[in-house]
Amino acid sequence: MMSHEQKIWKYAFASAMVTISILGFGRMSYGILMPFMKDSLSLTYEQAGVLSTSTSIGYLGLVLFAGIFAAKWGSKRLVILGTLLVTCGLLYMPWVQNYFSCLIGMVLLGVGAAFAYTPLVNIVVGWFPRQRGMMIGFLLSGLGLGTLFSSALIPFFTAWFSGNGWRYIWLLYGLFSLLSAFVAQIILRDPPISLPKITQEKTSLFREVYLHKRILLVACIYGLIGFAYLIPQNFLFSFILEAHINRYSAGQIVALGGFMSIFSGPIWGMISDKIGRKKSLLITLFLGTIAMLIPITFPELIGFVISQFLWGITVVGMLSLIQAISTEQIHPAYAPIALGYVTVYFAAGQLVGPGLGGWMIDHLGGIPSSLLLCSGLLLTAFILSTQLHKEGVGEQLIPQKETHSMEG
């Protein structure tokens, strides 16, 4: 029989492959490929922005249902379905010829990611409840790895294939995603936690999840993080250039944050498994708040470097911690539904944040005002997080013997 250590690393590997595909390639790579697609397809900036938003809308529209479907039909089935949908979207993108054909592919990427991610979290949390922080951290490391791969591939493919290099990158992403689905099919199994019959009733879902005080608190915190999350990603690079730092150095500074984010999730996940989820979340939110204040007060090279280091090492940690916390607030059987529900708040915050940040830049004092908004949102999330319970209900409901049987 496979040992616990062997099983946890196999699941971490398969899960990271899936998240590289659905989040790193399916959701984050467009921002890197967009300038080349815009020139090749003669898109306007408004159209390019709508394409990005369409993926978020596809994700937001179905992420709530993903948890419900996973509870009814099994998490593994949803993970495979979602990964294959993302694969179809990635393999479709190399052939697009205009804005409207792009729109179809981008929506498909969002829908597939919504179906795959929440059930994937349910699988790793169900099998490894005592190491849920570390495992969710490994999942989210795929997001940083996908972004890093995209950044590394762009110079080579655009040099080799000129204006059509982006098409070959989408194709490569699609082939990798297909391999990810195959690996997930072989390795992953549904966790041995059955859904109580009571959850089939709408009234029970409202009572046990949607109106649950602990879940609502987590959802609000996650929404604030989502609100703040994309503001520095959209505007910090421009602020570095405004500070008269050359493009090469600015790119290196931003790359530093992306590189550190690869390790952020696993590191803070493992820390939280030792010292507790609440304390770890408070630390990451505090450091994130400071990270956004540093470039405002000290807009110099060293200030930006420190800011990006702190932001990179904490931002994915925030996401992994809040997701782990959401699965601990109620009975484990409701975990996929709860995670899908709180993710709706996060996705809604992502839709609002960049728009409000851009409006503040135009009307309320430039890019520093948007970074101040980001810092304020994280500080508010910090204050709300002090109200979280130190130990989640979900952890209390999993006996040690049951944990060993699940993991063996």
pTM of the model: 0.75
- Among 220-229, 251-260, 292-301, which stretch is predicted with the lowest mean pLDDT? 251-260
Reported as a single tens digit per residue, the pLDDT across 11-42 is: 888 988 999 999 888 877 777 777 778 888 88
Residue 305's pLDDT is 92
3-state SS class at 185: helix
Cα torsion at 16, 19, 20, 22 (round to 10°)? Answer: 160
* Fold classification of 1-189 (topology level): Growth Hormone; Chain: A; (1.20.1250)
125-161 burial, b for 16+ CB within 10 Å, e for fewer?
bbbbbbbbbbbbbbbbbbbbbbbbbbbebbeebbeee
Residue 353's pLDDT is 78
- Among 121-125, 214-218, 350-354, 394-398, which stretch is predicted with the lowest mean pLDDT? 394-398
Q: What is the CATH number of domain 198-408?
A: 1.20.1250.20
Under the banding of pLDDT at 50, 70 and 90, the label for residue 397 is very low
Across 85-105, average pLDDT: 93
Residue 258's pLDDT is 77
Q: Is the pLDDT at 197 greater than 70, yes or no?
A: no
Domain ranges in the chain? Answer: 1-189, 198-408
Greater pLDDT, 234 or 357:
357
What average pLDDT is seen over the chain?
81
Reported as a single tens digit per residue, the pLDDT across 305-331 is: 999 999 989 988 898 899 888 877 777
317-354 burial, b for 16+ CB within 10 Å, e for fewer?
bbbbbbbbbbbbbbbbbbbbbbbbbbbbbbbbbbeebb
Topology alike, domains 1-189 and 198-408: yes
